[in-house]
Amino acid sequence: MNSTNRDRVFSGSIAQLYEQYSVPMIFAPYAKDLTKRVTLSKPKRILEIAAGTGVVTRHMADQLPADVSIVATDLNQAMLDHAMSVGTSRPVTWQQADAMKLPFGDDAFDAVVCQFGVMFFPDKAAAFAEMRRVLRPGGTLLFNVWDRIEDNEFAECVTQAMAGLFPDDPPRFFVRVPHGYYDQATIADALLRGGFTDPASFDTVTCESKAESARVVATALCQGTPLRNEIEARDASSLSKATDIAAAAISERFGTGPVSAKMQAIVVAASAPDK
């Protein structure tokens, strides 16, 4: 499996660990932020792409009126299965779907929402074109991406720790994918090529990432993300050792007991043009 395919695989126990550790540690604050923003556009039909284990879905189900329909999709069925097992406060539609080829008709939604998924799309402009296609004229595309890794301290610390463990071939998942698509000019160009001809808005949002311990951070990032695939590809027996090394690095930098660190994302909003 090449790195591009490996970066998009959230399988096995990753989904459970992602929900248990990563959601409260890094995703929940931005899910609340994104939900507040989508509420302002007063949509009646929402498509969520790359829903993962459903943290944004749950917030939207809680905060939006009951007559607002929500279709939540993800490429990885394992993530959707876990999201469905967690459940939502009211019914939503769950569906496996690839953002590169959405299985929906033209003009089907008032809003498309995507939390930290755009970075994984092999062809960003083509994915944006699909989002544009399923949006009604004037509909809203709202997504966020992580800022550079230097502004996301837990991910940076773990990446440095993995470079020490594998000096000849350091795992670069976080640099390459989650924190590899933050340049606003690059994003704006892909949106334009995808058919979003009106200028998009960009908003930098800084939050505090919190965890009960350094071990929680290490487990979340080493075992509950595709970084795990990179570690095991280098040495199938090294996941536990890698987690120990990451936990030690987090403790050294951020202390023992409860830990916190800076995290930063960019929220992008674009409107589908009139036809």
3-state secondary structure of 221: helix
| pLDDT, mean of each 10-residue run, the chain (275 residues) | 49 79 96 97 97 97 97 95 96 97 98 97 97 98 98 98 97 96 98 97 98 97 94 95 98 96 98 90
In terms of Cα–Cα distance, which of 220, 215, 222 is closest to 248? Answer: 215
CB 258 within 8 A of CB 182: no
Q: What is the pLDDT at residue 12?
A: 55
Q: Tell me, yes or no, if the pTM score tops 0.85.
A: yes
Q: What is the pLDDT at residue 6?
A: 47
Buried b (16+ CB within 10 A) or exposed e, 101-112: ebebeeebbbbb
Three-state helix/strand/coil letters over 38-76: HHHCCCCEEEEECCCCCHHHHHHHHHCCCCCEEEEEECC
Q: Which residues pair with 45 in a beta bridge?
A: 69
The token duo for 156 is 């940076």
Sequence spans of domains, the chain? 3-271
Q: What is the pLDDT at residue 13?
A: 67
Q: What is the pLDDT at residue 193?
A: 98
Give backbone dihedrals phi and psi of 265, rounded to 5 degrees, phi first.
Answer: -135, 165
List, edge to edge, every strand of the sheet that includes 69-74: 93-96, 69-74, 45-49, 109-115, 135-146, 259-271, 201-211
Q: What is the pLDDT at residue 16?
A: 86
Q: What is the pLDDT at residue 52?
A: 94
- Rounded distance, CA 170 to CA 172, Å? 6
Q: Which CATH superfamily is domain 3-271 in?
A: Vaccinia Virus protein VP39 (3.40.50.150)
CB 70 within 8 A of CB 46: yes
- Tell the residue number behind the tokens 């995808």, with chain if given: 194
Q: What is the pLDDT at residue 156?
A: 98
Q: What is the pLDDT at residue 1?
A: 45
